[in-house]
Amino acid sequence: MRDMENLIGQMVHVVVSKDGKSGTKILKVCKVKARSVLFIEVDRENRKNIFRKVANKDITSTEMIGDSPFVYVKEGVIPEKWESSWDSMGQPSQMSINARITPIYSNRSNGWAHRLKSNSQYGAHFRT
C-alpha cells in the first residue's frame, strides 16, 4: 500500500459496498501501518472525532478522480470503529469517581465527616 503512505493527512473518499449498495464517506488518512490503515472521521456537528480502521487486505484499490483520491474497500467490509486508550483521557474513571464520594471517618465526630486539620500544626503559635 505505497499509495496510502502518500495520502497521510489528506481527506479521501472511502467507498464501501454491501448487498449491491455503495456508500462514500470523506475520511482523513491518519496512520498507515503494515497491516492496517487508520482513518479519522470528523463530525463537526457533534464535535467528535471517530477513528475507523481498515485492514490492508480489505482495500482493493486507490485511484484519483479529478483532484480527489478514492479508496475502494472489498464488498461487504465496513470500516470498524476503533478507540484508542487516549480517547478516555480527561474523562473520570469509575475508580476516581468512587474515591471522591467515599467519606472519611473522623475521630472528632460521631459519624462520617471530613477530617479536620489540627490547629496546632497549621495555625499561628502565641506564647502565653
Query: Please, what is the Cα angle at 29 between 75 and 59, to 5 degrees?
Result: 25
Find the farthest-apart pair of alpha carbons in the chain and give their distance in angstroms, rounded: 93
Say what the pTM is: 0.59
Res 87: pLDDT: 53
Q: What is the residue extent of each domain of the chain?
A: 2-86
Strands, E, within 8-58: which ranges?
Answer: 11-18, 21-32, 36-43, 48-55
Phi, psi of 47 (to 5 degrees): 55, 50
50 to 5, 38, 44, 62, 96: CA distances (angstroms)? 20, 10, 11, 22, 26
Per-residue pLDDT of the chain (128 residues; tens, 9 = 90+): 567 888 888 999 999 988 888 899 999 998 899 899 999 988 888 888 888 899 989 998 888 888 889 999 988 888 888 765 555 555 555 655 555 555 555 555 555 555 555 555 555 555 65
Alpha-carbon torsion (23, 32, 54, 1), positive or negative: positive
Strands across the sheet with 59-65, in order? 59-65, 68-75, 11-18, 21-32, 36-43, 48-55, 80-82
